Structure 1
Amino acid sequence: MQPLSRLATALALGAATLLSLPALADEARYNQVALRAEVSQEIAHDLMHVTLYSEAQDDDPARLAAQITRTLNDAVKQARAAKGVSVALGSRHSYPVYDDKRQQITAWRERAELRLESADFAALSKLTGQMLETLKMAGMDFSIAAPTRKRHEDALLKDAVTAFKARAQLATEALGGSGYKLVSLNLNSGGFQPPMPMRMAKGMAMMEAAPTPEIEAGTSQVTINADGVIEVQMP
């Protein structure tokens, strides 16, 4: 009896599978089209980044480290006194200096960075000019602040959806469809824009010569991509 029972169960399962095939066929989707729409906007940089550094050499590494530390401490104190300027210590490293034959260490050289950031370009520019009396400049960059980027990306989301709808309608008409259904839609930003290098009226040398140089912060492009799939309905 057990073999007959197993055979009956197998036949029942096979019949159920055959009956479900039309339902699966009905669920299959055809006339699907993948589309992309992209919208972008140029956004003015509203953050200024300056990297300064102190570098010195001495035959006594302990004395050298103490000298660099004093210079950095004074610089940090000066920077913290400036309103609206964020201060952070950057990289710091030392390395030996060898003789001509590279057999003996003749001295030690150390370099330490100080990083400044502010939305007040004039204040940071003035502070940088003052601090160049004791430090040197490693670079100046500009970027878009995270809240600013998010605000503009949120505004562009609606534009991206509108652009996607327009493309979906064009594709539907091109295929001779009577309408379309939205299968999927992904909205993504164009990715992180790295800080832009400094652009100044008379180049880097001007920063060394004047406390308040003329600065052009520039812009970066914020982009929103709308990637999706539609199903065109045929008449």
Structure 2
Amino acid sequence: MRNKNLILNYVFLSCVIVLFVNDHFFKFQYTSWFTGKLSDAVGIILLPMLMTFAFPKLKENSVFASGLFFVFWKSPFSENFIKMYNAISPIDIHRVIDYSDLMVLLLLPIPYFLIKNDHIFENFVIRKIHAAVVLFPTVFVLMSTSQSNGYTYSPETGKLAFRDFNFEMKKTESDLLKKLDEQHIKVVKDTVQILQSLRYEISAMGKFDQDAITKGGDIFKVDNAVLRKRIEERI
């Protein structure tokens, strides 16, 4: 039987709140060594409790499972898993390989003690809400990233991609491209993304011929010259 007190206690809830606020605000407003490690610290405390709630038979063993997973996550061995996941998921996940992050493993005795003595939660839990109300936001917080909607950055590949993002610089285009070239930074347009953003506009430029479905011929007709001009304007 699942013990909902494991995720409805104030320690767990505080860790979730700190994790969310740190990843989406503190890391950018107060960038420092402390904010860089804070998410790992609260994450390593809440993860064993979350695992024990999801898999009650693990009990205190969830602490060791969490430690092993954290080591795997912070190692190069997780890179292929991350790439595979990001290829099929609408929400990308990322991590930075920094072996100094492993120092938070020293905090594992905290969740071990809390799980082994879960009766102490009786005095500081929220009893009037369903566990699912906390469970699903927690999973989202653990998986969510703090990237801007205007760009995405993949630490694994070093790729920085902008989407519908505007900014001003006191340089001409040629000067800027020259400066980037001097820094060995290659600038390319994501033509796939551009064409995808034009799909509705393209559909409005042409028309469907229903008779062609049975009689043969082009089902969708569009003026190729006009279409080419519009695409060239964007690319």
Instruction: Calculate the TM-score normalised by the size of structure 1.
Output: 0.20
* Higher helix content, 1 or 2: 2
TM-score by length of 2: 0.20
Larger Rg: 1
Q: As a proportion of its length, which structure holds more strand?
A: 1
